[in-house]
Amino acid sequence: MKTIIEPFRIKSVEPIRMTSVEEREQCLKDAYYNLFTLHSDDVLIDLLTDSGTSSMSARQWGALMEGDESYAGSPSFYRFKKAVEHLMPFKYLIPTHQGRAAESILFTVVANASHAIPNNTHFDTTRANVESQGAAAVDLVIEEGRQPETEHPFKGNMDIAALDRFIRERGAETIPLCMLTVTNNSGGGQPVSMENIRQTREICDRYDIPLFIDACRFAENAWFIKLRERGYADKPVIDIVREMFSYADGCTMSAKKDGLSNIGGWLAMNNEDWAVECRNRLILTEGFSTYGGLSGRDLDAIAVGLEEVVQEDYLRYRIASTQYVARHISEAGVPIMKPAGGHAVYIDARRFLPHIPPLQYPGQSLAVELYRQGGIRGCEIGTAMFGLRPDGMEEPAHMDLVRLAIPRRMYTQAHMDYVVEVVTGVFESRESLRGMKFVRQPPALRHFTGRFDYV
Ligand X SMILES: *Cc1c(COP(=O)(O)O)cnc(C)c1O
Tell me how far, at minimum, the Cβ of 97 lies from ligand X, in Å: 8
The continuous run of DSSP H or E covering 239 comes out as: helix 237-246
Query: Distance between CA 132 and CA 112 in Å, rounded?
Result: 9
The CB-of-98 to ligand X minimum distance in angstroms stands at 3
Partner residues linked to 436 by β-bridges: 454
Closest contact distance (angstroms) between CB of 205 and ligand X is: 24
Which residues sit at the interface with ligand X, rule CB under 6 A? 51, 98-100, 123, 125-126, 181, 185, 214, 216, 254, 256-257, 265
Q: Which is nearer to ligand X, 109 or 192 (CB)?
A: 192
CB of 177 to ligand X, least distance (A): 15
Q: Which residues contact 325 (CB under 8 A, 6 or more apart)?
A: 340, 345, 404, 406, 416, 419, 420
CB of 348 to ligand X, least distance (A): 21
Q: 76 or 181, CB closer to ligand X?
A: 181
* DSSP letter (8 states) at residue 50: S
Nearest approach in angstroms of CB 189 to ligand X is: 9
When the beta carbons of 123 and 247 are compared against ligand X, the nearer one is 123
Query: Shortest approach of ligand X to residue 89 CB, angstroms?
Result: 21
How far apart CA 11 and CA 124 sit, in angstroms, is 36
Q: Which is nearer to ligand X, 252 or 289 (CB)?
A: 252
The nearer residue to ligand X, 126 or 196, going by C-beta atoms, is: 126
* DSSP sequence for 327-388: HHHHHTT--B-SS--SSEEEEEHHHH-TTS-GGG-HHHHHHHHHHHHH-EE-EEESHHHH-B
Question: What DSSP line would sit under 85-145, residue for residue?
Answer: HHH---SEEEEESSHHHHHHHHHHHH--TT-EEEESS--HHHHHHHHTTT-EEEE-B-GGG
Calculate the CA dihedral of residues 325, 328, 331, 337 and round it to 10 degrees.
0
Element housing 212 (H / E): strand 211-214
| CA-to-CA dists, residue 267 to 49, 255, 319, angstroms | 22, 11, 26
What is d(CA 61, CA 222) in angstroms, rounded to the nearest whole number? 26
- Percent helix, strand and coil across the chain, each to the nearest 5: 45, 15, 40
Beta strands 178-181; 211-214: pairing state: parallel
Give phi and psi for 364, each to the nearest 5. -65, -40
Between 132 and 429, CB nearer to ligand X: 132
CB of 112 to ligand X, least distance (A): 21
Q: What is the DSSP letter of 15?
A: P
Closest contact distance (angstroms) between CB of 103 and ligand X is 7
Shorter beta-carbon distance to ligand X: residue 185 or 196 = 185
Cβ at position 126, least distance to ligand X in Å:
5
103 vs 400 by CB, closer to ligand X: 103
Least separation, in Å, of the C-beta of 243 and ligand X? 20
Find the shortest distance in angstroms from Cβ 214 to ligand X.
5
DSSP 185-205: TTTTSB---HHHHHHHHHHHH
C-beta nearest to ligand X: residue: 99
> Measured from the CB atom, is 100 or 115 closer to ligand X?
100
Q: Which residue number, 144 or 220, has a Cβ lying nearer to ligand X?
A: 220
- Residue 423 contacts residue 69 (beta carbons within 8 Å): no
Q: Is 412 helix (H, G, I), strand (E, B) or coil?
A: coil
Q: Is 4 helix (H, G, I), strand (E, B) or coil?
A: coil
Distances (CA, A) of 111 to 156, 204, 274, 321: 24, 17, 11, 39
- The smaller minimum CB distance to ligand X, of residues 257 and 446, is found at 257
Q: Closer CB to ligand X, residue 51 or residue 193? A: 51
- Report d(CA 270, CA 272) in Å as an integer: 6
